[in-house]
Amino acid sequence: MKSPFDLSGRKAVVTGGSRGIGGAIAELFLEHGAEVAICHLGDEANASALRERMAARGHALHCTECDVSSPAAVDRFAEWATQRLGQVDIVVNSAGVGGGDRPFESTDERDWDLTVGVNLRGTMLVTRAFFAGMTSRQWGRVINVASQLAYKGAPGLAHYCAAKAGVVGFTRALAYEGAPRGVLVNAIAPGPVDTDLLRNHSEQWLAFKKSQLPVGRFGEVGEIAPTALLLASEAGAFYVGQTLSPNGGDVML
């Protein structure tokens, strides 16, 4: 009997897929039968290492660069991905920047535009590039990576929290348009996960954050990726406009 988590025959793109949460999702999708193309920005070393690791397991991973905040770059990425995959059934918007923790009065327009540009604008641009193709085929999955900070907030992260809250709102709104045409749009709001993005925070901020977690530790990328597999597969066929939160109890809804 075929597993409800099987992705055989599905074609997926994962932004920010060279490492961290995106890399773990790309790896898990490949292991469950999907063909996967990832993009990264200036991270060729990690992308190549992931591609080689997957090749050793018999999986082919397609890799390229893309600045998801740039419409022209996203258009090129969409054309490249379509050429490699033939079509795109699953989009995972995992590319993100943290911006570092700083008081709001020290946050300037450049900080704001970079953080919102990658995390929110990039999510919209990449989704838009593939959405029409999904609706025309009457099947698709869009999985946006938000954050539990969209709900909880955090000192020094007004720009990041605003961007991720926008991702949650975008997910809910687009779900209404996608579901009647076979495209399910959902999001994941991870808690603090041990990635480069988390490590960019100060030791004081990290200690403060860890003290808030009932589990007493930060998450691992391998604990987030299965949520994406659920949402991408037939096992998640009744999830619409939801934001699932593997967060160690940081936010309990």
Is 160 in the active site?
A: yes
Catalytic residue among 151, 160, 176, 239: 160
Give the three-state DSSP class for 86.
Answer: coil
Tokens of 134: 């999904």
> Half-sphere exposure of 161 toward its Cβ, with a 13 Å CA cutoff?
16
Of 47, 32, 157, nearest in space to 95 by CA: 47
Locate tokens 């995106």: which residue? 22
Q: Please report, as a single letter, which amino acid is at residue 221.
A: V
Closest CA to 86 of 21, 24, 146, 137: 137
* Token duo for residue 212: 């808030």
Which residues are catalytic, by number? 160
